[in-house]
Amino acid sequence: MRLTILGCGTLGETILGGLLASGVDAADVVVTGRRDERMRELAERYGVRALLDNAAAVAAADVALLTVKPQAAAGVLAGLDGALGGGKLLISACAGVAIERIRAIVGDVPVIRAMPNTPARIREGMTVLAPGPGVDAAALARAERIFAAVGRVRVLEEKHMDVVTGLSGSGPAFAFVILEALADGGVMMGLPRDAAIELAAQTVQGAARLALHTREHPAALKDQVTTPAGCTIAGLLTLEDGRIRSTLARAIQEATRVAGGLGG
């Protein structure tokens, strides 16, 4: 499968690095961008072909993955000059850009919206796919193979994509704030900074993996750690004093609201 990553910026490079780390052959990947210097850098770093001509790159691909900023999506798509014909699949990772809008530009082409996140860089990403009209099982399976190489994949209806963007797309940033705060608490109580960060990061990772592995409700897992009159319940009540639940939930709500307007 020949893949072209259109507009290989931060997100595109994250996916590219994850794919190559998973064993995808660099010879099967072409990346594009606007600056010659950036293209030379990516070609040297990853061994892929790097072009400035989007249409030429797509013409040689089976799948085109659009990773430009939402505001630039329409211009890039309009410049493809029919290169998406012949049964090629277009996957858009542009937050807030609806499939209907994409197809209004490129025509009757199978389009899948995708929302990956930055942990794809270490093959621990979470990607949600939303197939559009005309996407058959084979095309969807092809997209799932691409993103399964960089983490977990789930298929949902397009109506959920804005909240997916707010939760798993923006979520790593929220998790980093929580991780930093936990480490700060450790430092405040005497731990060296590097030890506090390591303990906090492994604790957050372990808790997340436990939830995924057991599929138990987070509240049930929390209760297993919370003994009567213990230190955990004391800490939990302090978190509740700070309204941590509503603050985090509202962060997702606000990120979702903004995501819905990114496509213009």
User: Which three-class secondary structure string do you get for the chain?
Assistant: CCEEEECCCHHHHHHHHHHHHCCCCHHHEEEECCCHHHHHHHHHHHCCEEECCHHHHHHCCCEEEECCCHHHHHHHHHCCCCCCCCCCEEEECCCCCCHHHHHHHHCCCCEEEEECCHHHHHCCEEEEEEECCCCCHHHHHHHHHHHHCCEEEEECCHHHHHHHHHHHHCHHHHHHHHHHHHHHHHHHCCCCHHHHHHHHHHHHHHHHHHHHHHCCCHHHHHHHHCCCCCHHHHHHHHHHHCCHHHHHHHHHHHHHHHHCCCCC
Is pLDDT at 130 greater than 80 in this prediction?
Answer: yes
* High-pLDDT (> 70) share of the chain, %: 100
Local confidence band at 229 (pLDDT 50, 70, 90 cut-offs) = very high
Question: What are the tens digits of pLDDT across the range 194-215?
Answer: 999 999 999 999 999 999 999 9
171-259 CATH pick, 1.10.3730.10, 1.10.10.2120, 1.10.287.130, 2.60.40.730 = 1.10.3730.10
> Who's near 171: CB < 8 A, 6+ residues apart?
117, 252
User: How many C-beta atoms surround the C-beta of residue 91 within 10 A?
Assistant: 26
- Asked if the domains 3-158 and 171-259 are classified in one and the same CATH topology, the answer is no
CATH architecture for segment(s) 3-158: 3-Layer(aba) Sandwich (3.40)
Q: What does the domain layout of the chain look like in residue ranges?
A: 3-158, 171-259
**What are 89's strand-pairing partners?**
63
**Residue 97 pLDDT greater than 90, yes or no:** yes
Percent pLDDT > 90 in the chain is 90
User: Is the pLDDT confidence value at 4 over 90?
Assistant: yes
User: What is the pLDDT, as a whole number, of residue 1?
Assistant: 86
Q: Confirm whether pTM is higher than 0.85.
A: yes
Question: Which pLDDT value is given to residue 121?
Answer: 86
Contact in structure between 140 and 110 (CB atoms under 8 Å): no
What are the tens digits of pLDDT across the range 27-75?
999 999 999 999 999 999 999 999 999 999 999 899 999 999 999 999 9
Which residue type sits at 248?
L
